[in-house]
Structure 1
Amino acid sequence: MLDFNFSEDQEILRETAREFAKMVIAKNIPKMMSERRIPAEVFQGLAKMNFLGMNISEEYGGMNADAVTTGIVAEEIARADPTASIPVLFLVDNAWSYLISKYGSEDLKKDLLPKVVKGEAIVGIASTEPNFGSDIGSMTSRAVRNGDAYTLNGEKSYISLVRDIKERTGGYVTVVKTDMQKGTKGVTLFYLPYEEDKFDLTDLHEMGREGSSWGAFKFHDVNLGEKYIIGKENGGFKIIHEGFEFARALIAVISAGSAMKALENGSNYLKTRKAFGSELAKFQGLQFQLADNVARMEAARMMGYKALWTYDQEQRFHRISRFQVSKEVAIAKLISTTWAFDTINDALQWQGAFGYSKDCPEEWALRGIRSFQLAEGSREIMKVIIARETLGKEFIK
């Protein structure tokens, strides 16, 4: 039988996260937008609340939180930050530190994970290259074995949190080739720590997400021991998708949370703004549009939590196949990011000229949420996954 209830502990966590988001995150949004960086108070607060590295085991200071519980916090953060900047930090740091917690060497976990939980290090993801987006098998970054160590060289682009990782220390779950002839079977994951003399950084400017840094970097002659491998040599392609799927499911819930906050703001405007002698909320055309958006976003939110639940079922209990997880996550991300953008756009439209102004939170949200239709796999990739798992691999080119 289906159970749509959160546990008592999860509901308490939601209230705690909501209060933190209201008292710390929401009040810092103007400062974040003017300075174009996440304020120290927010970052320190996330660490104090144990919201960084939530999924890391208690052995290293984490909460050992499941994916659904992580989604609850993500939703509350998204409602408080319409720019989607802080949600990006939250989802990236949690999804990819989890992958290290699961597949990293003991030496790496002992050195890195307590720092992540304390906010002393950030874990990012570096997979995209200038000429290869989601085509991991064609990338050119490589690691060459030299005895018990590896020398890494390559280039990554459109990477989140580059400035944050540089300033606060940390590194990237990085995809490289260890066998250039084997395609996806020659892919290995490394934790690539940031070293100033080994990295050439380039800042890129985003359409939105004012507080989140974004950029590209080249890394040259980085020497790493075996302890920095995540999983096994040439086994990275299979496990990197576990990180992507966690991040995609969080994006679905974040997008729904942001859109539902936009509906709240838009509804309040409709109830207070008058035209032709009546409140806008009394016009049936706007009521129907509102109803459609509420229905869509309730469905999208539910699909996001279903995706997180499915992820937990596979990761923690091995009750569901990886392929089923891939499909459920792809459905949730495709639906939520598409409908959220349309919903926020409608809420902006209801607010007339104010909606088009830089003072309107829905203007910030529209640009921020648009990024999630591309991040961690585009809408087109989500459709490929859904079609593949519905038709079978033999029908996909």
Structure 2
Amino acid sequence: MLSFEFSEDQELLRSSVREFCTRTIAPRIRDMIRERRIPKEVYDGLARMGLLGMTVPQEYGGMGADAVTTGIAAEEIARADPTCSIPVLFLVDNAWSYLVSKYGSSELRESILPDVARGKKIVGIASTEPNFGSDIASMRTTATLQDGMYVVNGEKSFISLVRDVKEIGGGFVTVTKTSPDKGSRGVTLLFIPYSDGMSVRYLEEMGREGSSWGAITFENVRVQKENVIGSVDQGFKIIHEGFEFARALIAVISAATALKSISNGAEYMKSRIAFGSPIAKFQGLQFQLADDVARMEAALTMGYRALWTYDQEQRHGKFSRFQVSREVAIAKLISTTWAFEAINDAMQWQGAYGYSKDCPEEWALRGIRSFLLAEGSREVMKTIIARETLGREYIR
């Protein structure tokens, strides 16, 4: 029997996160945009509430939250921050610290996870390279075992949270080649703590003003063997578990952001008078509004379905990895695509104000645009859906 209810504990979490977002996040968004960084009060509040370490197991000081529960917090944060900056911090830290908690060595878990749970360190992801995005097998960053340590050389680009990790502490789940001649079978994930041996170059994003973005160059950076995540040369098999968690969270975040924009646009329709009546009375706009509401409510449901499917596979061994990949890809594809369209509609309803830098929908449109690329592009999502529908033999 299907159930669309959240548990009492989940609803209590939603209520507390919503109160925090209303009190602490929403009033500081304009300051964040101006200063181009997440306000300290917001970061400290997220850490104090345990939201930056939700997925960290309880034995290391975290909540040990499942994917659906994590999604609830992501939804509320997204409704409060239309720029998508704080949601990026939240989803990246939680998705990739989860992968560390599942596949990291005991030494690695002890060294990083308690601090993540307290907000003292951040776990990021470093996979994209200047000429390679989703094609992990073609990446060129290498990790060579020398004198009992891995020596890493290469460059990662378009990496989220580079400044945050540098200033607060932590490191990156980094995709490396340990057996370059083996293609995807020679990929190893290493957790690389930020160090002075890493050169960081900052990049400027189209949106997400509070979230830092940049490139990292590794030049003979030495990493302990205990920092291998999973097994050597097996990184390609497990990295998708992190991507799928992040993608499902993006689906929920995108839907929540769009629904907030639709609400803002609807309120504007009621107050804007044109040709003697509120524009909310114009049937053409009503039909557009109805389409956007229906799509984004459906997308939100699909986002939670993807998170639930992920939980069932990770915690209970139900569903295959490929089934999870399909559900997540569907959710991310429709949510990000429809969210961009719905936010654009909400901007249009608000006329010239919608085009101004003071309009939250202008912020949201630029922020959501990143999710059509982040953690796997729209084209990659379509390829996954086609592969799992037609069969692998029909995909080049």
CA distance in 2, matches of 1:86, 1:211: 7
State the partner residue of 1:311.
310
* RMSD (Å) for aligned C-alpha atoms: 0.6
CA distance in 1, matches of 2:393, 2:302: 27
State the partner residue of 1:28.
28
CA distance in 2, matches of 1:191, 1:60: 17
Provide Cα deviations, 1:141-185, integer angstroms capped at 9, x if missing partner.
Answer: 001012422111110000000111111111000000000100000
State the partner residue of 1:104.
104
1:347 to 2:349 alignment: no
1:374 to 2:351 alignment: no
State the partner residue of 2:115.
115
State the partner residue of 2:235.
236
**SS where residue 21 of structure 1 aligns?**
helix
Q: Write the mapping of 1:274-353 to structure 2, written as runs, cut at 5 A.
A: 274-353=273-352
Q: Kindly state the Cα deviation for residue 56 of structure 1 after the two structures are TM-superposed.
A: 0.8
**SS where residue 154 of structure 1 aligns?**
strand
Q: Kindly state the Cα deviation for residue 223 of structure 1 after the two structures are TM-superposed.
A: 1.2
**SS where residue 53 of structure 2 aligns?**
coil
CA distance in 2, matches of 1:161, 1:355: 29
Provide Cα deviations, 1:86-144, integer angstroms capped at 9, x if missing partner.
Answer: 00000000000000000001011111001111111111000000111111111110010
CA distance in 2, matches of 1:19, 1:188: 41
**SS where residue 144 of structure 1 aligns?**
strand
State the partner residue of 1:76.
76
CA distance in 1, matches of 2:105, 2:88: 26
1:391 to 2:380 alignment: no
Provide Cα deviations, 1:213-256, integer angstroms capped at 9, x if missing partner.
Answer: 00101011111121100000001000000000000000000000
**SS where residue 260 of structure 1 aligns?**
helix
Q: TM-score w.r.t. structure 1 length?
A: 0.99
State the partner residue of 1:205.
204
CA distance in 2, matches of 1:301, 1:224: 40
CA distance in 2, matches of 1:304, 1:271: 30
CA distance in 2, matches of 1:91, 1:76: 12
State the partner residue of 2:89.
89
CA distance in 1, matches of 2:213, 2:224: 28
Runs of 4+ in 1 over 2 A off after TM superposition: none
> Where in structure 2 are there 5+ consecutive unaligned residues?
none
> Where in structure 1 are there 5+ consecutive unaligned residues?
none
State the partner residue of 1:360.
359
Q: TM-score w.r.t. structure 2 length?
A: 0.99
**SS where residue 23 of structure 2 aligns?**
helix
Provide Cα deviations, 1:346-371, integer angstroms capped at 9, x if missing partner.
Answer: 00000000000000000000000000
**SS where residue 307 of structure 1 aligns?**
helix
1:265 to 2:261 alignment: no
CA distance in 1, matches of 2:9, 2:320: 28
State the partner residue of 1:62.
62
One-letter code aligned to 1:8: E
State the partner residue of 2:137.
137
State the partner residue of 1:170.
170
CA distance in 2, matches of 1:287, 1:348: 15
One-letter code aligned to 1:171: G
CA distance in 2, matches of 1:201, 1:151: 18
1:52 to 2:75 alignment: no
CA distance in 2, matches of 1:188, 1:339: 35
**SS where residue 51 of structure 2 aligns?**
coil
State the partner residue of 2:220.
221
Q: Write the mapping of 1:183-202 to structure 2, written as runs, cut at 5 A.
A: 183-196=183-196, 198-202=197-201
**SS where residue 155 of structure 1 aligns?**
strand
**SS where residue 376 of structure 1 aligns?**
coil
**SS where residue 181 of structure 1 aligns?**
helix
CA distance in 2, matches of 1:67, 1:56: 12
Q: Quick one: percent identity of the two aligned structures?
A: 69
**SS where residue 158 of structure 1 aligns?**
strand
CA distance in 2, matches of 1:177, 1:68: 33
Q: Kindly state the Cα deviation for residue 200 of structure 1 after the two structures are TM-superposed.
A: 1.3
Q: Kindly state the Cα deviation for residue 273 of structure 1 after the two structures are TM-superposed.
A: 1.0
Between the two proteins, the alignment pairs up a number of residues equal to 396
State the partner residue of 1:5.
5
